Amino acid sequence: MKSRIVASLDVTDRNSLIALWERIRKNVFAIKINWPTVLACGKSIISELSKESRVICDFKIADIPNTDKLIMEQIRNEKPFAVIAQAFPGMDSIDSLIENAGEIKIIVVAAMSNPGASKYLNPNFPRIMDDIRERNIYGAVVGGNNIDMLRETSRNKGNLKIFSPGIGVQGGSPVSAILNGSDYIIIGRSLYNSSNPEEYVDKINLDIENALATKK
């Protein structure tokens, strides 16, 4: 079964993280880790998990081009699958990441799933999408709990892969997000706080597979 789940493992205890990762890694598309995990476990956790999984570093990089270059050089040593960056510092910053990424894929935040993003970031998502479609960008982040925005993004995504957070705790439905244009859904708290993460992942994988089969 091809999984469309990116497991967001915001776990700060190394032993707990590894134990959870071992339980689900074969049944998800990728593992996503954020600053809390890296600050607690050290950046070597990236390369450790990357030996057996696609690892997405959700660092939402947002700085001037030279600083972005220095950040990417450090990340590149750990060999993750992809890195997430913010678009709002400008496309010169995104271009710096692309130039220094090596084999690492770049995913750019086009919109966020939290309510506060509706004031500053999300109103600009059409312009962000226009800019990143013109570049060698692998994916865009668009919340799965905003179906109208997800549909609009899907219609104009070009070759971009859409990654959708906002699933579970933030109200988004895995099946609904996929059926409305998401390529991959990002699931965090509702997964890693589940009493049985394996069953949780397997059920979502099956629900998505059945929904897509019915849609055909």
User: Which of 142, 134, 188 lies closest to 161, judged by CA?
Assistant: 142
User: Does an H or E element contain 44, and which?
Assistant: helix 44-50
User: pLDDT 10s digit of each residue in the chain, 216 long?
Assistant: 689 999 999 999 999 999 999 999 999 999 999 999 999 999 999 999 999 999 999 999 999 999 999 999 999 999 999 999 999 899 999 999 999 999 999 999 987 777 887 888 777 888 888 899 989 899 999 887 788 888 888 888 888 999 998 776 667 788 989 999 999 999 988 899 899 999 999 999 999 999 888 876
Measured between alpha carbons, how far is 7 from 73 in angstroms, rounded to an integer?
25
Measured between alpha carbons, how far is 197 from 194 in angstroms, rounded to an integer?
5
Output the pLDDT for position 129.
87
**Domains contained in the chain, CATH given:** 5-215 (3.20.20.70)
Output the pLDDT for position 167.
76
Output the pLDDT for position 169.
65
Percentages helix, strand, coil for the chain (3-state, rounded to 5) are 50, 20, 35
**Catalytic residue IDs:** 60
